[in-house]
Structure 1
Amino acid sequence: MAGGWTSDDNVQEQIDSSIEDAIARARSQLPRGESLHRCEECDAPIPEARRQAVPGVRLCVNCQSEHDKEQKAISGYNRRGSKDSQLR
């Protein structure tokens, strides 16, 4: 149930929009193109199984793990600036 000046439909639209934005952001980060045979960062060989499992892979497992940790640290979701911040 929405409060104030908003209706329940507006709240759901804001939630849907936030989810669509998150999906679009995640899709934009997916690798594209042909997989590399050697890691872009450390030049280690990328195993064939990884290249087939992740089309467009550019990093070895170790470098990808480090990259993921860095992204997690800097990509915290700011609820105050989000579209649905008034819901909490």
Structure 2
Amino acid sequence: MATGWAGDSAVQDQIDATIKDGIKRVRSQMPQGPGLAYCEECESEIPEARRKAVPGVRLCVACQQARDAEQAAYAGYNRRGSKDSQLR
């Protein structure tokens, strides 16, 4: 396939780089260090099962869901650059 100045694997390289950046961003946001017994937002008790399942947990489930919903609004996915959005 003719791609001009770009190499044959340029598209795949860009996809790979985007995925690696996304993984790096998510890993940097993971909790680190010892977990808390009480939520740092609402101070409700964090169940022991959650503390064992999520090392370094700092929020209860309700507060974590609220924070995840806030961050979803700023996900940074560029629909303009998506081929699917150009086909519509």
TM class, shorter-chain normalised?
0.7 to 0.9
TM-score by length of 1: 0.82
TM-score by length of 2: 0.82
Structure with the larger RCO, 1 or 2 (CA within 8 Å, 6+ apart)? 1
Identity %: 60
Unaligned runs of 5+ in 2: 84-88
Instruction: State the partner residue of 2:71.
Output: 71
Alignment of 1:1-88 (within 5 A): 1=1, 3-80=3-80, 85=81, 88=83
Task: Check conservation: 1:2, 1:11, Cα contact below 8 A.
Answer: no
Runs of 4+, deviation exceeding 4 Å = none
Unaligned runs of 5+ in 1: none
TM-superposition CA deviations, 1:42-88 (whole Å, max 9, x none): 000001000000000000011001111111112241245xxxx4x73
SS at match of 1:31: coil
RMSD of aligned C-alpha atoms?
1.8
